[in-house]
Structure formats: structure tokens, C-alpha cells
């Protein structure tokens, strides 16, 4: 029970710290992102523009993606030539069997419909 009360007290202190009057929110929260300073060249009459931290560009993201793909493809267990040929043969045979079955069902139903409508 004492532990629960202790945690409650510490969370109340944190809440008070976050909402303490007169202290900006950025100083209360240490995990807050620091403000970005404006950059202005000397002699430039235009207003300063805030420097935005740039993300990696498109090419860098693409290169990183391709590196990750390469690493993942090294983890793949590829079937042997014999396994691939066997699987392909099974698929082709099943396609012919299923096609013949559906063809017979189609012919049977069309004959049934002709008999009913005649």
C-alpha cells in the first residue's frame, strides 16, 4: 500500500512541475523538442527563416531499403531445382483436374437447364 501512495505522490509532483505557473512548458518537459533557431545571413534584409532538420532524402531512403531487402533475402531458404519442378508439376496437374471437373459441372448444368426449359 505504501508503494502505491509513493507512486501517487511522485506523479502529483510531476503533474505540478508540468503545470507550474510562470515556467514555460519547454522547461517543464525535458523530452520536449528544443526550438529551432532562425538563420539569417549578415546584410540580408529578408526575415529569418527557421532551419528545419532535414530527413534523409529520397535516394538515401531507397538505398537503405535495398540494403534491408538484401539482408532479408539472405535469410530466405530457397527450394532446390528438384523441389521447384515437383511443385510446379503438382500445380499443373491440379489445374487440369479442376478444369475438367468444372467443365463437366458446366455441361451437366447446361443440359439440366435445357431439359427444364424445353
| Number of domains observed in the structure of the chain | 1
Whether 97 maps to a domain, the answer reads: yes
Whether 102 maps to a domain, the answer reads: yes
Whether 39 maps to a domain, the answer reads: no
Whether 111 maps to a domain, the answer reads: yes
- What's residue 113's pLDDT? 95
Q: Which three three-digit cell numbers place residue 78? A: 530457397
Whether 42 maps to a domain, the answer reads: no
- What's residue 58's pLDDT? 87
Bigger pLDDT: 63 vs 2: 63
- Please write the tens of the pLDDT for every residue from 3-45: 555 555 555 555 555 555 555 554 555 555 566 666 656 666 6
Q: Assign 92 a pLDDT band (cuts: 50, 70, 90).
A: very high
Opening angle at CA 31, ends 28 and 32, nearest 5: 70
- Whether the CA torsion 23, 25, 30, 36 is positive or negative: it is negative
- Please write the tens of the pLDDT for every residue from 61-76: 999 999 999 999 999 9
Look up the domain containing 97 and give its range: 83-118
Whether 69 maps to a domain, the answer reads: no
Sequence-distant (6+) residues with CB within 8 A of 52 are 36
Amino acid at each position: 500500500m505504501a508503494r502505491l501512495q509513493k507512486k501517487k505522490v511522485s506523479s502529483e509532483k510531476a503533474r505540478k512541475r508540468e503545470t507550474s505557473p510562470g515556467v514555460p512548458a519547454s522547461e517543464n518537459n525535458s523530452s520536449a523538442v528544443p526550438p529551432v533557431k532562425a538563420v539569417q545571413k549578415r546584410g540580408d534584409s529578408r526575415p529569418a527563416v527557421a532551419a528545419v532538420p532535414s530527413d534523409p532524402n529520397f535516394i538515401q531512403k531507397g538505398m537503405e531499403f535495398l540494403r534491408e531487402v538484401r539482408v532479408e533475402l539472405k535469410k530466405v531458404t530457397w527450394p532446390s531445382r528438384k523441389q521447384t519442378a515437383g511443385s510446379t508439376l503438382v500445380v499443373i496437374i491440379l489445374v487440369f483436374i479442376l478444369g475438367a471437373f468444372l467443365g463437366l459441372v458446366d455441361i451437366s448444368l447446361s443440359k439440366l437447364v435445357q431439359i427444364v426449359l424445353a
